[in-house]
Amino acid sequence: MSQDTTTLLRRLRTIEGHVRAVQRMVEEEAYCIDIIHQTQAIKSALNKVEEQVLADHLQGCVTTAIRSDEAAERERVIGELMDLFKASNKR
């Protein structure tokens, strides 16, 4: 397992723990603003995971495809990135 994978898994486990804590907060009817602060922290942590996965993808898969002699492969990865960009703008 690579260091990047280990780091991502650790972050995801931490996020999982935070989600469980928010579930408990809701069950215990914690103060709404406190719950929102925690969900915002979870979203921020997920954004960091996405950033790392995207960086790894760009440095690995996309770079390999762009350097490829196969035009279809280059177009495929560019299409994936465009779809991802479009989806992120719909949020």
What is the pTM for the complete model shown? 0.83
SS3 assignment, position 90: coil
CB 43 within 8 A of CB 6: no
- Using CB atoms within 10 Å of the CB of residue 21, give its burial: 0 to 12 exposed, 13 to 18 middle, 19+ buried: middle
pLDDT one-digit tens code per residue, 16-47: 999 999 999 999 999 999 999 999 999 999 99
> What are the structure tokens assigned to 57, written together?
């993808």
| Separation between Cα atoms, residue 69 and residue 22, nearest integer Å | 49
Residue 80 banded pLDDT, cuts 50, 70, 90? very high
Which architecture characterizes domain 3-89 according to CATH?
Answer: Up-down Bundle (1.20)
